[in-house]
Structure 1
Amino acid sequence: MGAPVTVPRGVPLWSDQVPARVPSDPLDGDTETDVVVVGAGLTGLWTAYYLLEADPSLDVLLVEAHEAGFGASGRNGGWCSALLPVSGDELAHRHGRDSARAMRAAMRDTVVEVGGVAAAEQIDCGFAFGGTVTLARNRPQLERVAEGVAADARWEDESHLLDAEAVAEHVRATDVIGGSYTPDCARIQPLQLVRGLLEVVLSRGARLVEGTRALRLSPRAVVTDHGIVRARWVVRATEAWSAQLPGYRRDVAPVYSHMVATEPLPPEVWAEIGLDRAQTFTDARNLIVYGQRTTDDRLAFGGRGAPYHLGSSIEPAYDQVRSAAVHLERALVDLFPVLEHAEVTHHWGGPLGVPRDWHPSVGLDVETGIAWAGGYVGDGVSLTNLAGRTLADLLTGADSELVRLPWVGHRSPAWEPEPVRWAGITAARRATAWADRTESRTGHPSRLSDLVNHVLGR
């Protein structure tokens, strides 16, 4: 391992691991199609994949403002998990126990589905069914882990409460007093999944126009900066960028997440850390962190906590916040002191879409022809696949179990207008960080975390 660098590369590690591709041409004037999908991230690509599987004769046009996989799909932490931002208990409260049980089963099945498609289509995305280990490093965290394992049992999710010695069989971090393990997660290289899916759908007849910004979604049409697309069905697959579309500006709040990645680590370092079966890992702090051992033996580590920007603003400059990188580097060394002198080669970030009630949704308005999916709150690698399958069934009229899942047709309340929205999200972020510091210092649960969850509707 070399000496630390001052400034890591400001691009996702994932983009440095795939060959450059020549972007598709922008839209060339007005056109017509059967289905226009706005957004060529994983939601859009999975939707095209399953639509063409159901009906190969369909003309499917993907419209992308930047390039395929530009957003969270190509920047995320590489967890394909059964996680949902809304708990099974909350699903039961909102939709009933049977619906909650069906949604939890669908999420577990989705992880398997993604791996199956990757294998069948020969998409080399590093898919490895290593599961997730959650660390508890103080008593409040251990209590949350135990509560989570008990909740998983209520919804037939497999998870196991571990003591410190059992956690060390997966990963060896400092100050661990216990934890949990679930097998329902796979490590992936997300941009390779995007590229593989893109190649498949284009080979099956889908069309892609890049550098084409959607300005407005209308019934049976999308107005872009390069022409109008008329279609029977319009699919909004814009996730955090929905906040920039007229009529959807308060549907989601674009909240930033950041990541760092180390240089490739030698075997003796991995012997101290573990993760030898491609397990993903997190801990039970309130302000989420997440990590994985990459296919080339780096440690990629991310977390929430970057500022929310007034007016749901999204700018390239927000992807680079040096204080966020420093915070992640310190947290990483705190977990794994052996990394103190490891070089951090990459730092990147980007927005994810958070609905007011943290409840993802998918649906179709038959009268207008506008379908949608999103609000994944960072759990989109798997949810995008479930969304794509569900949208394909909704658009083709298939009477499947998927179209009866409780997230279908869900409408989240709108976020508050500014500046109330900014003030609330900023206060919640600061309170969450304060709760973690308090719990670490005192060893007692912070009441602030419960208050934040109540205010945010979690």
Structure 2
Amino acid sequence: MTRIDRILADASPTPYWTERTPPSGEPEPLVGRDRADLAVVGGGFTGLWAAILAKEEEPSRDVVVLEAGRVGAGASGRNGGFVSDSLTHGLAHGTAMWPEELEDLVRLGRENVAAIASFVTREGIEADLRLCGKTVVATRPHEVAALESSYETHLRHGEDVTLLDADEVRRDVDSPTYLAGMRVRSGGGLVDPGQLLRGLLAAARRRGVRVHERSAVTGLARHADGVTVTTGVGELVAGHVVVATNAFPPLLRRIRAYTVPVWDHVIATEPLSSAQLAEIGWSENQGLTDSGNQFHYYRRTPDDRILFGGYDAIYYYGGRTAAALAQRDSSHRLLVEHLYETFPTLAGIGVSHRWAGIIDTSTRFTPVFGTAYAGRLAYAVGYTGLGVASSRFGAQVALDLLARRRTERTRLAAVTGRPVPFPPEPLRYPAVQLTRHQLAREDETGRRPAFLRVLDRFGVGFNS
């Protein structure tokens, strides 16, 4: 057993956020037959925002949330806590996909994050929300030029951004791997997703939302009064339904072609000492990402651990989402190796937590919206890793669609359009693996392979 294997053997196989903020109270499954005006399937960020916004629109509306496990057990409680105002998976991708409406998408994304911050303050949610932006770093020579181009794009769209050379970026956060950096002070920041989930759950309940955990939905059927939602031991007849299951097997066949579940792995270190922090710097305590297609994201936690994730995204044949897949030794070992390469002064530091979450990826890297059952059901899935903030926007779109409201949101091509579908198995798995191989090749060479250029022409989102 190697040193890294021994370090990982001592790590808790649970998300850091869950251990920091465990679920409170006993779950109350849906039992027997019930009715509601609105059923929300999924108790993550999208589902909770949908429930809260529905009650704020119409306080008398009877809203029920059905969650298969505990609230936030999926991706909402397993991410890095990065808050982004982008609705287009970055400005470059938005420019490539929706140039004519990008100005509106940027504005709506900023308004969305501002509304989240206002809500958190108004509700007294202590979620360590800090709109501190982030730093993007270049670790390969060809990434420096790409970062300079990204800097110009950010300037054109009014972002508060500074381009940094190697010495400047290392004066802020010291890593020998950094060749350049781009400090973005606008556009989002960081949050404790576990605390945010708890705060949203409490806010929903204060508004009268009924929440049934341990109530996995097994079926949907059209009903004279709306939609019948079936669980293992219960049945709910709802006038309308929002499906917010994201990466988990969709209840609607039509969604299956548009998203795939990709496992994203994360580690958290033991708390850093004051001396270790002094060696690294990181005085602004912002989040960091690097510039590759296969990129890392990392941040300090509220108790000064380093949360370090990303890079090795894994798709399993058939889109498997079994909980046991959250532990993958090779992926976690690779993250530890990369952490030590990024911060050599931390080589040998212990790892306290190791886990994975499932990203609901669409081919265009942005959410997919739609309706079913004669407009009685709406869905918002496919956030591709940026759902911490954009899930609120997705919930708004779903409610607009249910109410048949023609709003600024529902007129967007980014909302009305459909991504290129993924091929079915057995073609899906090799297609995903080939794409991953080509993205890694571009990272190494700095040259766009012909295969990816073809995908770009079809609007597939690997140019973000």
1:325 aligns to 2:332 (yes or no): yes
**Structure 2, unpaired ranges of 5+:** 1-5
- Aligned residue pairs, count: 450
Instruction: Report how far residue 350 of structure 1 moved.
Output: 2.0
Matches of 2:264 and 2:364 in 1, distance apart? 19
In the TM superposition, what are the counterparts of 1:158-237 in structure 2 within 5 Å?
A: 158-183=160-185, 184-219=187-222, 220-221=226-227, 222-237=229-244
Deviation per CA, 1:14-68: give whole Å up to 9, x if none.
Answer: 0111144234221112221111010000000011111111211111110111111
Match of 1:377 in 2: 384
1:101 aligns to 2:106 (yes or no): no
CA-atom RMSD in angstroms: 2.4
In the TM superposition, what are the counterparts of 1:200-349 in structure 2 within 5 Å?
A: 200-219=203-222, 220-221=226-227, 222-243=229-250, 245-349=252-356
Question: Is the alpha carbon distance of 1:20 and 1:223 closer, same or farther for their aligned partners in structure 2, counting shifts above 3 Å?
Answer: closer
Contact 2:438 2:452 (C-alpha < 8 Å) held by counterparts = no
State the identity %.
30
The partner residue of 2:65 within 62, 66, 71 is 62
Matches of 1:148 and 1:96 in 2, distance apart? 16
Matches of 2:307 and 2:323 in 1, distance apart? 21
Matches of 2:419 and 2:393 in 1, distance apart? 19
Instruction: Report how far residue 371 of structure 1 moved.
Output: 0.8
Contact 2:287 2:300 (C-alpha < 8 Å) held by counterparts = yes
Matches of 1:448 and 1:303 in 2, distance apart? 25
Match of 1:138 in 2: 140
Matches of 2:166 and 2:158 in 1, distance apart? 24
Deviation per CA, 1:315-351: give whole Å up to 9, x if none.
Answer: 1111000111110011111111111021111000021
Contact 1:85 1:376 (C-alpha < 8 Å) held by counterparts = no
Letter paired with 1:200: A
Matches of 2:454 and 2:136 in 1, distance apart? 22
Letter paired with 2:363: R
Contact 2:340 2:347 (C-alpha < 8 Å) held by counterparts = yes
Instruction: Report how far residue 273 of structure 1 moved.
Output: 1.8
Letter paired with 1:260: I
Query: Secondary structure in 1 aligned to 2:333?
Result: helix
Match of 1:422 in 2: 429
Letter paired with 1:172: D
Instruction: Report how far residue 89 of structure 1 moved.
Output: 5.4
Matches of 1:452 and 1:267 in 2, distance apart? 50
Provide the TM-score with structure 1 as the length reference. 0.91
Question: Is the alpha carbon distance of 1:129 and 1:374 closer, same or farther for their aligned partners in structure 2, counting shifts above 3 Å?
Answer: same
Letter paired with 1:124: E
Matches of 2:27 and 2:339 in 1, distance apart? 38
Letter paired with 1:161: L
Contact 1:260 1:348 (C-alpha < 8 Å) held by counterparts = yes
Stretch deviating more after TM superposition (342-351 or 135-144): 135-144
Instruction: Report how far residue 449 of structure 1 moved.
Output: 8.8
Contact 1:431 1:452 (C-alpha < 8 Å) held by counterparts = no
Contact 2:8 2:354 (C-alpha < 8 Å) held by counterparts = no
Query: Secondary structure in 1 aligned to 2:218?
Result: strand
Contact 1:325 1:347 (C-alpha < 8 Å) held by counterparts = yes
Stretch deviating more after TM superposition (358-367 or 338-347): 358-367
The partner residue of 2:150 within 148, 152, 161 is 148
Matches of 2:449 and 2:342 in 1, distance apart? 25
Contact 2:74 2:357 (C-alpha < 8 Å) held by counterparts = yes
Contact 1:187 1:278 (C-alpha < 8 Å) held by counterparts = no
The partner residue of 1:77 within 74, 77, 80 is 80
Deviation per CA, 1:283-342: give whole Å up to 9, x if none.
Answer: 112202101111111100101424311111111111000111110011111111111021
Deviation per CA, 1:333-380: give whole Å up to 9, x if none.
Answer: 111111102111100002110112323133445823111112110000
Contact 2:295 2:311 (C-alpha < 8 Å) held by counterparts = yes
Contact 2:68 2:215 (C-alpha < 8 Å) held by counterparts = yes
Matches of 1:244 and 1:156 in 2, distance apart? 41
Stretch deviating more after TM superposition (39-48 or 237-246): 237-246
Deviation per CA, 1:163-184: give whole Å up to 9, x if none.
Answer: 1233134321113221111122
1:410 aligns to 2:417 (yes or no): yes
Letter paired with 1:195: R
Query: Secondary structure in 1 aligned to 2:416?
Result: coil
Query: Secondary structure in 1 aligned to 2:65?
Result: strand
Matches of 2:436 and 2:75 in 1, distance apart? 20
Match of 2:40 in 1: 37
1:14 aligns to 2:21 (yes or no): no
Stretch deviating more after TM superposition (4-13 or 334-343): 4-13
Deviation per CA, 1:399-448: give whole Å up to 9, x if none.
Answer: 64334344333322321010111001112223333443x34xxxx54647
Query: Secondary structure in 1 aligned to 2:174?
Result: coil
Provide the TM-score with structure 2 as the length reference. 0.90
Matches of 1:410 and 1:159 in 2, distance apart? 31
Instruction: Report how far residue 396 of structure 1 moved.
Output: 4.7
Deviation per CA, 1:154-198: give whole Å up to 9, x if none.
Answer: 433443322123313432111322111112221111111011100
In the TM superposition, what are the counterparts of 1:352-391 in structure 2 within 5 Å?
A: 352-364=359-371, 367-391=374-398
Contact 1:243 1:252 (C-alpha < 8 Å) held by counterparts = no
Stretch deviating more after TM superposition (16-25 or 254-263): 16-25
Stretch deviating more after TM superposition (325-334 or 390-399): 390-399
In the TM superposition, what are the counterparts of 1:81-92 in structure 2 within 5 Å?
A: 81-84=84-87, 86-88=89-91, 90-91=93-94
Matches of 2:163 and 2:430 in 1, distance apart? 38
Instruction: Report how far residue 451 of structure 1 moved.
Output: 4.7
